Structure 1
Amino acid sequence: MNISIPKLQHTDSGNFFLMAGPCAIEGEEMALQIAEELVRITNRLRIPLIFKGSYRKANRSRLDSFTGIGDEKALKILAKVSQTFGIPTVTDIHESHEAAIAAAYVDVLQIPAFLCRQTDLLVAAAQTGKVVNIKKGQFLSGESMRFAVDKVKESGNANVILTDRGNTFGYSDMVVDFRNIPAMQENQVPVVMDVTHSLQQPNQASGVTGGKPALIETIAKAAIAVGADGLFIETHPTPATAKSDGANMLQLSNLESLLEKLVRIREAVR
């Protein structure tokens, strides 16, 4: 990677890096439990790890959907994960004023896909000096993401990551176009495949997002084979009880075997 992330380990391994964790921070015990297992697995496989957790879920299908346990409480949990395990953390922000608030607790600020064209948000994130991970809009091509990269870099911050999470045509499903990975790498920034969100089935009639978790391994293998620099995988000990995006998360107990396969693919294509 040609970016600098504090506390990121195993960058000399030649492996892809991993952004992983629960969709949302549901509580301290759960976050520490997941982080401990992620650290164990990635240390063994020498995979650089960034722990992911949303401190607040602003983009929900229904008004009564879970949004969080409280901003400061969740951000402090992310900080505790980082301090306890010595790993960097990432969380998403949704409005410009959130950038400085979240930056006080995490190492990477994530721009949600629906907001990747919001200039004020990108500039605010850039001005914190933190690494900015921009998710590609479901409605955009990989090539068009150069403008989002330019907004951050021209605001004085060269530490940018781009993440693909599939494309949608408004029919409650996502399609992954793997041409987007090399297209976004043309911007000379690391490119990540968001495996679990690319398998979402949003805007279901029930108002609860669905998903196709059985295809997680397929998308992850293809992304590494194409040359993705990193993977984004949301994981939970019991996805069925997760308060957000349980339908497309990977069960934590299945992560280690998947990563073992992906490391072998990475070695083969390197």
Structure 2
Amino acid sequence: MTQPSKHIAVTDTVTLGNDLPFALQSGPCQIESREHALMLAGEISAICAEVGIPYIFKASFDKANRSSLAGRRGVGLAQGLAILAEIRETIGCPVLTDVHTEAQCRPVAEVADMLQIPAFLCRQTDFVLAVGEAAAESGRTVNVKKGQFLAPWDMANVVAKLESTGCTKMALVERGVTFGYGNLVVDPRSLYEMAKTGYPVVMDATHAVQMPGALGNASGGKREYVPVIARAAVGVGVAGLFMEVHDDPDNAASDGPNSVRLDTLKDLLMELLALDRARKAPMIGH
């Protein structure tokens, strides 16, 4: 990125900035159980600590936009927030989760360090304002995904909505754009354009390789392309990477086809960290 970048402190230990070493937002697509979420949070956190990458645990308590009624949605708000609070306390990492309704915003802000606006809801003005208000009141950060139907410069309007509430802590997430039926593509220029807002930009490298509805009653995906997308994003220069990780993605409750296998994560992060250091060396003094 060539534009000046705001530095957004998610916590005392994790700061996002396009000219800073990238942070990882990662975890299972949805919270499948307390034990599973704690296990993955601990494993990914340990890998990030070993490699030297700031880490934010991400998982959803509810996946509200399932392809069909048969899709598993998660453990629900109350149980999900209790699990996220336990991860935050015992693993010691920040936590990130989606909100889906205006009523969820303040309860989630009491627990999560980052509130995520799902891609399909980024144009819903009342909802965006509710997220912004809850984040501003609590000092939390908003992770807002660019809809698959938006041009990158359209995100300036979403930023303005959030800023109107007093929310000035946010990151903008690229997750691909709809290309025909059941396919997404990533234009690296989107990362550059969204950085013009001044806010940190995050590349969602796993949802970007999703194939919406490709399995008929669920989405498919090609996880083999995740490293390709991640490398391209790091080459442009981003504040963070969003990658869903699972120990058994072929049997994951959701988004398994585009999730990174836990046993491959360390090698991938080491490669990406080397690229990030080379890309940002003039900016961060490597």
Structure 2 counterpart of 1:232: 242
Q: Residue 253 of structure 1 aligns with which residue?
A: 263
Q: Is the contact between residue 11 and residue 48 of structure 1 (CA under 8 Å) also seen in structure 2?
A: no
Give 1:185's match in structure 2, choosing from 159, 176, 195.
195
CA shift in 2, pair 1:66/1:5, >3 Å: same
Q: Equivalent residues in 2 for 1:132-151 (5 A)?
A: 132-151=142-161
* Match 2:172 to one of 162, 176, 179: 162
Distance in 1 between residues matched to 2:16 and 2:49, nearest whole Å:
11
Q: 1:116 aligns with which of 114, 122, 127?
A: 122
Aligned position for 2:225: 215
Question: What amino acid is the match of 2:261?
Answer: Q
Query: Per-residue displacement from partner, 1:133-161 (whole Å, max 9, x unpaired)?
Result: 11001011111100001111111010011
Decide whether the 8 Å contact of 1:139 with 1:169 is kept in 2.
no
Q: Is the 8 A contact 2:178 2:184 kept in 1?
A: yes
Q: Distance in 1 between matches of 2:263 and 2:99?
A: 29
Q: What is the match of residue 22 of structure 1?
A: 28
Matched, 1:98 2:108: no
Whether 1:5 aligns to 2:10 is yes
Shift of the alpha carbon at 1:205? 5.4
Which one has more relative contact order, counting CA pairs under 8 Å at least 6 apart?
A: 2
Tell me, which stretches of 5 or more residues in structure 1 are unaligned? Answer: none
TM-fit CA distance, 1:95: 1.3
Q: How far did residue 206 of structure 1 move?
A: 1.9
Tell me if the contact between 1:10 and 1:47 (Cα under 8 Å) persists in the aligned partners: no
In the superposition, relative to structure 1, how do residues 205 and 218 fare at CA in structure 2: closer, same or farther (>3 Å)? closer
Q: 1:83 — aligned with what? A: 89
Deviation at 1:11, TM superposition (A): 7.1
Matched, 1:241 2:251: yes
1:247 partner letter: P
2:274 to 237, 244, 264: 264
What TM-score, normalized by structure 1, do the two folds share? 0.96
- CA spacing shift, 1:78–1:150, aligned 2, 3 Å: same
With 93-102 and 51-60 compared, the bigger mean Cα shift is at: 93-102
Whether contact under 8 Å (1:3, 1:159) holds in the other structure is yes
- The alignment's TM-score, normalised by the length of structure 2, stands at 0.91
Indicate conservation of the 8 Å contact 1:191/1:229, yes or no.
Answer: yes
Cα deviation, residue 169, structure 1: 3.2
Q: Residue type of the partner of 1:157?
A: C
Match of 1:72 in 2: 78
Which residue identity is paired with 1:3?
Answer: I
Residues 53 and 119 from structure 1, CA distance in 2 versus in 1: closer, same or farther, beyond 3 angstroms? same
Taking the aligned partners of 1:23 and 1:188, their CA distance within structure 2 comes to 28
Which residue does 2:50 correspond to in 1? 44
Determine if contact 2:123/2:158 at 8 Å carries over to the other structure. yes
Q: Aligned-pair distance for 1:96?
A: 1.0
Question: What SS does the corresponding residue of 1:97 show, helix, strand or coil?
Answer: helix
CA distance in 2, matches of 1:39, 1:69: 22
Contact kept, 8 Å, 2:8 with 2:15, in 1: the verdict is no
Q: 1:169 to 1:10 in 2, by over 3 A?
A: closer
2:142 aligned counterpart, secondary structure: strand
The AA in structure 2 aligned to 1:125 is V
Matched-pair identity in %: 41
**Alpha-carbon distance in structure 1 between the residues aligned to 2:89 and 2:125:** 32
Partner of 1:176: 186
Write the distance in 1 (CA, Å) between the matches of 2:28 and 2:13: 19
Q: 1:54 to 1:38 in 2, by over 3 A?
A: same
State whether residues 95 and 121 of structure 1, in contact with CA within 8 Å, keep that contact through their aligned partners in structure 2: yes
Name the SS for the 1:177 alignment partner.
Answer: coil
Aligned length, in residue pairs = 270
